[in-house]
Amino acid sequence: MLRLQDIMASNLVRVDADTTIRAAARLMTDRRLGCLAVERDHQIVGVVTEHDMVTRVLAPGLDPDTRQMAEIMSTPLITMEGGTGLREARERMDREGIRHLLVTVEGEIRGIVSIRDLIHTPRPAGR
């Protein structure tokens, strides 16, 4: 059985909470990222997704040059342990209405899984 830690992206890209939204958007574009972790004092305190950029910045007309990531990040963090099965993770994401899930190993955030990762994971034979 595949677990979250088997498919997670461990290269979670982080930005500081006081990073401007424009700088973060450029980083997301340059690196082709759908989500960034937001940190304060080297601790992840939130996440910002492409969806957040549209609904929390563009739609309300915020100025991305003067506003900071802390203003639009999703918090509290929604996490699951790396040993969790993919089906349980999909169900949790559906229940919470989220597209990205932070993965913990021994209580520490070690990676991220997107709904796309879960959808495109090969199924075991016979299913």
Contact 116, 8 (CB under 8 A): no
Contact 36, 27 (CB under 8 A): yes
Q: Is the pLDDT of residue 37 over 60?
A: yes
List of domains in the chain? 4-119 (3.10.580.10)
**d(C-alpha 4, C-alpha 71), whole Å:** 29
* DSSP H stretches of helix in the chain: 4-7, 21-31, 50-52, 86-96, 115-119
Q: What percent of the chain has pLDDT over 70?
A: 95
In this predicted model, what pLDDT tens digit does every residue of 65-94 receive, in sequence order? 999 999 999 999 999 999 999 999 999 999
Q: What percent of the chain has pLDDT over 90?
A: 91
| Angle (CA) 64 69 59, round 5° | 50
